A and B are shown apart, each in its own frame.
Chain A
Amino acid sequence: MPPFFQRLGALAYKELLHMLRDQQVIYLALGMPLVMLLLFGYAVSFDVDELPIAVLDHDGSAAARRLVRGLEASDAFVVRHQVREAAAIEALMRRGTIRAGVVIPAGFARQVARGAEARYQLLLDGADGTTARIALGYAFGATAAAAGDAGRGVLPLLEPRVRALFNPALRSALFIVPGLAAVIIGILAVLMSTITVAREWERGSMEQLFATPVDRLAVVLGKLLPYVAIGLLQLLLVLTAGAWLFAVPLRGSLATLLAAAVLFLAGVLGQGLLISMVTRNQQVATQLGAISGVLPNLLLSGFIFPPDNMPLPLRVLSRAVPARYMVAVMRGVLLQGQRLPQLWPQFLGLALVAAAFLTISTLAFRRSLD
C-alpha cells in the first residue's frame, strides 16, 4: 500500500477507535438525532388543530349558530366558552384558556338575510403570530363556507379546488422531517468535528503527530472519513425513524441521497475542522462550533424560512451554508422523487462549498508549532 494510504488508514482507524471508546460520542451521534426527530416531528407542527375559542353571541340567531358550527366543522377550532361580555374574551386569552375569540354582533342574522355585508369580529392571540396567522386562514375558509350554506353569497363564491401535490394532506411532519434530517446531521457534524483537532493540540498529541512524516491532507481526511461514516449512519437512522413514525416516503433513489449526503458532510465537517484548527482550544472551539453549527443550519438552510424570502445579504450568505442545498435535496428526493437531472444545482452547490471548506482547512492547518 502506498505510504499515503497507509497513513490515512492509520489516522482514520485511530479516529474511529476514539469514537467507539467514547460512549458520549455514541450517545450524541446516534441518540441525539432520534431525540431531535421526535421533538421536532411531534412538537413542531405548522398544523392548527382544535384551537380553543370563546364565542360572544349578541345575536343568538340561527345564522350566528351556523357560523360557529362552520368554524368548528373545520376541526381547526373548538368552542370552549360561551361568554357574555367582550372583556371575558381578553381575560380568557390572557389566562391561556383560549387562543381566539369570536364576537357576533346583534343584527348579524338580519344583515345576512338582507344580503348586506354581515360582519363578525375575530379576536386572535397576536402573541403567537404563527398560530394566529394560520387560524386566520382557517376562519376565512370557514366563513366562506358558512356564507355559502346561508344560500346567499356574502363573499363572492369563488371556490378553488386545492390539491397539494406531494403532500396531499399538507401534513407538517412530511414537510419538516426531510429538512430536519439534514439540519440535525449538519449541526451534529459541526459539533463533533470542532473539538477533534483542538483536543489534539491541547493534549500535545498534535505535536507528536507533526514529528512524523504525515502530511496535512492525510490528517484532514483521516479526521473526516470516520465522521462521514457516522453521518451516513445518522441519515439512515433518521430516514428509517421518519418512515416508521411519520410515514415519510422515499420517492427518489437512496443512492442519490447518500451521494449528496457525502458532499454535505464533507462541507459541514470541513467547517468544524476549520474552527478546530484555527482555535486550537477545545472550549473556544465548542462555543464557536455551537454558534456556527446551529444558527446557519437552522435559520439559513430553508428548513423553516425559505431562502428566497430572505433579505439579500442573508440570501447570499445562505449560499455558503451546505444545509441549504441538502434540505432541498432531501425534500426533492424523499417527497418529489427528484433525480440528478433536477438536482444538479444542489449537487454543484454542495460540491463547491465542500471543496472550499476542505481546501481552506487543509491550507489553514499549519504543520508546525509556530
Chain B
Amino acid sequence: MADAKPTPSAPAIVAEQLTRRFGAFVAVRDVSFEVARGEIFGYLGANGAGKSTTIRMLCGLLAPTAGRATVAGADVARDPERVKRAIGYMSQRFSLYLDLRVRENLEFFGGAYGLGGAALARRIDALLERVELTAQADLRTGDLPGGLRQRVALIAAMLHEPAILFLDEPTAGVAPAARRTFWRLIRELAAGGTTVFVTTHYMDEAEYCHRIGMMSAGRLVALDTPATLKRAYLAGSMFLVEGPQVAAALPALRSHPAVLGAQPFGAAAHLRVDPAQLDRDGLQGLLTAGAHGALRARPVEPSLEDVFLALVEER
C-alpha cells in the first residue's frame, strides 16, 4: 500500500470549516482539512454523506454557505475561475458526450480549456497512449464499456495538465479489473506530483489513498492514513467469527456487555470486543455456549470498513 507520503510543502487544498446548506438541510458541516501536493486524498462516505457537495465546492461549482477553501492557492468562493484553470474535474457520471467519438470528446474538452491545434493533438495522442486507448480513438464514446469510458473521462480532465485532480466516484459501476487499472494510473499520476482528491464508497480502494477522510451525515468524522485509522480509531480487539449460523447469532452477541460491535463481513462476521472484559478464550467460550452451533473466533486486523461502520454507528 502507498504509505510513503510526499513531503508537504504549500498545501494544494485547504478547507476551513467548510459548510453548505440547502435550505434547512446541512449537506456539509464544518469540514476542515489540508491536502498536500502529490497526495492521494480519499474521501469516504455513504451516498448523501456530503462527498459530492464538498468536491463541488472545492471545484468552484457550488458556493460555500460558510467557511472557506483555497485550491491551488485560489479562494473557491472569490476566485472560482482561477480554481477552474488549475484543476481537472471528473464528475460522478463521467459526463462525456456519448454521441461523439472519443477523440472528438477530447478535442472538445481541450477546446473548452482554450487549447487547440497541433499542441492539443499531440497531448491527446500522448494521453490516449498512456491509458491504452489509441485503438479506440475513433469509436463512438457511447459504444465503449464503462471501464474504458471512465479512462476517457479521466484524460479529458487532464488535457490542460492540472496540478490537482478531483475525481467524484470515478469507479462507480466499473468492473473490478478495470478499477485496479484505474487506480494504478492514479498512483502514477500522484507519483508525478499531481494531487488527487477522490471520493469513493469502495473500502478496498480507500487502501490505495495516502490519507482518508471519512464523511458521515455531512461531518468529517475521521481523517488519517489508512494504517492509523485501523490502529487508533477503534476501541477493543477485532475478531473474525466464522460458522454456519453467524448471521443468526449476531443479535444475541451484540447485547453482550463486552461486545462493542458486530458486523457481517462476507459470509462471516467481524466482532469487536472489550479486551478488559473478554479475551479470546472467553469469547470462544461464549460462542460455543451460544444457541447457534459451532462458531469459531480468531483475531484479525480491523478493515477500513470496520472503522467506518464503527465511526458512523457511534454518531
**Are the C-beta atoms of B61 and A368 separated by less than 8 Å?**
yes
Beyond A7-B114, A212-B112, is A205–B62 a contact (Cβ under 8 Å)?
A: no
**Are the C-beta atoms of A212 and B56 separated by less than 8 Å?**
no
Stretch at the interface among A14-22, A166-174, A311-319: A14-22
Within 8 A of A (CB), among B53-89: 56, 59-63, 80-81, 84-85, 87, 89
**Are the C-beta atoms of B97 and A369 separated by less than 8 Å?**
no
Beyond A21-B99, A204-B92, A207-B61, is A11–B112 a contact (Cβ under 8 Å)?
A: yes
Beyond A10-B107, A21-B99, is A3–B114 a contact (Cβ under 8 Å)?
A: yes
Between A and B, how many residue pairs show CB distances below 8 Å?
A: 85
Interface size class of B (residues with CB under 8 A): 20 to 34
CB of A215 to closest CB in B, whole Å? 8
CB of B139 to closest CB in A, whole Å? 13
Determine whether B111 belongs to the interface, using a CB cutoff of 8 Å to chain A: yes
**Are the C-beta atoms of A6 and B61 separated by less than 8 Å?**
no
Determine whether A213 belongs to the interface, using a CB cutoff of 8 Å to chain B: yes
Beyond A211-B84, A211-B91, A213-B113, is A369–B108 a contact (Cβ under 8 Å)?
A: no
Chain B positions within 8 Å of A369 at CB level: 56, 61-62
**Are the C-beta atoms of B112 and A204 separated by less than 8 Å?**
no
Chain A positions within 8 Å of B56 at CB level: 207, 369
**Best-surrounded residue of A9, A210, A213 (most CB of chain B within 10 A):** A213
Chain B positions within 8 Å of A3 at CB level: 114
**Are the C-beta atoms of A208 and B108 separated by less than 8 Å?**
no
- Nearest CB to that of A19 among chain B residues? B99
**Are the C-beta atoms of A14 and B108 separated by less than 8 Å?**
yes
Interface size class of A (residues with CB under 8 A): 20 to 34
**Best-surrounded residue of A1, A3, A21, A212 (most CB of chain B within 10 A):** A212
CB of B217 to closest CB in A, whole Å? 21
Main secondary structure of the interface of A (DSSP, over half): helix
Chain A positions within 8 Å of B95 at CB level: 203-205, 207-208
Contact of A213 among B62, B63, B84, B107 (CB under 8 A): B84
* Between-chain CB contacts (< 8 Å), 19 pairs: A3-B114, A6-B114, A9-B111, A9-B116, A11-B112, A13-B108, A14-B108, A18-B97, A21-B99, A22-B99, A203-B95, A204-B95, A207-B56, A211-B84, A212-B84, A212-B113, A213-B81, A368-B62, A369-B56
Please list the 4 inter-chain residue pairs (A to B) with the smallest Cβ-Cβ separation, ordered nearest first.
Answer: A10-B111, A3-B114, A211-B89, A208-B95
Binding site for A on B (CB under 8 A): 56, 59-63, 80-81, 84-85, 87, 89, 91-93, 95-97, 99-100, 104, 107-116, 166
Given A1-B116, A11-B111, A17-B104, 17 further pairs, Cβ under 8 A:
A7-B114, A10-B107, A10-B116, A11-B112, A14-B111, A18-B97, A18-B99, A21-B99, A21-B100, A22-B99, A203-B93, A207-B91, A208-B89, A209-B112, A211-B59, A212-B113, A368-B62
